[in-house]
Structure 1
Amino acid sequence: MAIPGRTLPRSAPTGLLPVPRAVAPASGRVAIVSASVGAGHDGAAAELERRLVADGFAVDRYDLLDLLPAGFGRAVRDGYHRMLVAAPWAYQRIYAGTERAGGSGPLARALLRAAEDRVLRALRPDVGAVVSTYPGASRVLGELRRAGRLAVPVVTYLTDFSVHPLWVADGVDVHLAAHAVPAAQARAAGARDVRVCGPVTDPRFRPGGPDDRARARERFGLPAHAPLALLVAGSWGVGPVRQVARELRDCGAAVPVVVCGRNQVLARQLRADGIEYVYGWVDDMPGLMQAADVLVQNAGGLTSLEAFAAGLPVASYRCIPGHGPANAAALDEAGAAVWIRDPADLKSALCALVDGPLGLRQRAAGLALFARSPGDGPAAEIARVHRPGPPPPPPGPGPRRRPRARRLALTTAAACAVWGCAVGTGVATTYGGPALLHTLGHDLDPARLAPAFGEEGHHS
Structure 2
Amino acid sequence: MTFTPGRFQATRTEGSDPPAGGAGGRRPRVVIIYASAGAGHDGASRELARRLRERGLLADCVDLADIFPWGLGRLLRGTYHGMLSRLPWIYGVLFAIGGNFSRAAPITRALLRPVWPRVLRALPPDTRAVVSTYPVVSQILGPLRREGRLAVPVITYLTDFAVNPIWVSPGIDVHCAAHDRTRAEARALGAGEVRVAGRMVSAGFGPGTDEEKRRARERLGLPPDARLALLVAGSWGVGAVAKTAAEIARTGVAVPVVVCGHNARLYRRLARRGTGPVFGWVDDMPALLRAADVLVENAGGLTALEAMACGLPVATYRPIPGHGRANAATMSRAGVTTWVRRRAALGPTLVTLADGTAGRAQRAAGLSLFASDPAGVVADVARGVEPGPTAVPANGTGPLVHGERPALVERASVPEASAEIGTALAAFPPRRALTWWVGLRTGAQELRTAARGLRGGVPGVRPDGRRPARRPDRQG
Q: TM-score, normalised by structure 1?
A: 0.78
CA distance in 2, matches of 1:53, 1:167: 26
Residues 1:54 and 2:70 aligned together: no
Instruction: Find the aligned partners of 2:195 and 2:283 in 1 and give their Cα distance.
Output: 32
Deviation at 1:101, TM superposition (A): 1.6
CA distance in 2, matches of 1:292, 1:77: 32
- Residues 274-293 of structure 1 mapped to structure 2, 5 A cutoff: 274-293=274-293
2:12 paired residue among 3, 10, 14: 3
**Matched residues in 2 for 1:146 and 1:32: separation?**
19
Cα distance in structure 1, aligned partners of 2:70 and 2:322:
29
Mapping 1:401-412, distance limit 5 Å: none
- Partners of 1:87 and 1:226 in 2: CA distance: 36
Q: Residue type of the partner of 1:125?
A: P
CA deviation map 1:46-73 (0-9, x unaligned): 1100100000111111111110122211
Shift in alpha-carbon separation, 1:263–1:313, aligned structure 2, 3 A = same
Q: Residue 163 of structure 2: SS of its match in structure 1?
A: coil
CA contact (8 A) 1:26 1:57 kept: no
Q: Find 2:374's aligned residue among 375, 378, 382.
A: 378
* Corresponding residue of 1:351: 351
CA distance in 1, matches of 2:354, 2:220: 20
Aligned residue in 2 for 1:160: 160
Aligned to 1:74: 74
Amino acid at match of 1:164: N
Counterpart contact for 1:264–1:280, Cα < 8 Å: yes
Matches within 5 A, 1:56-455: 56-85=56-85, 87-102=87-102, 104=104, 108-372=108-372, 377-387=373-383
Match of 1:431? none
- Give the direction of change, closer, same or farther, for the CA distance of 1:182–1:98 in structure 2 (3 Å limit): same
TM-aligned CA distance change 1:91 to 1:203, over 3 Å: same
Moved more, 26-35 or 177-186: 26-35
Distance 1:134 1:188, change over 3 A: same
Q: Aligned residue for 2:394?
A: none
Q: How far does the alpha carbon of each residue in 1:165-218 deviate from its partner, in whole angstroms, 9 at most, with x for none?
A: 110111110000111111111111110100001001111110000111011111
Q: Which runs of 5+ in 2 are unaligned?
A: 1-9, 19-23, 385-436, 441-472
SS of residue matched to 1:8: coil
Q: Is the 8 A contact 1:207 1:310 kept in 2?
A: yes
SS of the equivalent of 2:192 reads coil
CA contact (8 A) 2:271 2:278 kept: yes
The alpha-carbon deviation at position 333 of structure 1 amounts to 0.5
- Label 1:84 to 1:301 Cα distance change in 2 as closer, same or farther (>3 A): closer
Paired AA for residue 176 in structure 1: C
Q: Is the 8 A contact 2:259 2:282 kept in 1?
A: yes
Shift of 1:3: 3.5
**CA offset at residue 83 of structure 1?**
4.3
The one-letter code sitting in structure 2 at the alignment partner of 1:7 is G
Q: Please report the TM-score for the alignment, with normalisation by the length of structure 2.
A: 0.75
Partners of 2:100 and 2:258 lie apart in 1 by: 35
Cα 1:346–1:79 change in 2 (3 A) is closer
Shift of the alpha carbon at 1:249? 0.7
How many angstroms does 1:360 deviate by? 1.1
Residue 7 of structure 1 deviates from its aligned partner by 2.8
Matches of 1:225 and 1:41 in 2, distance apart? 35
Distance 1:26 1:162 in 2: 37
Task: Note the C-alpha offset of 1:274.
Answer: 1.9
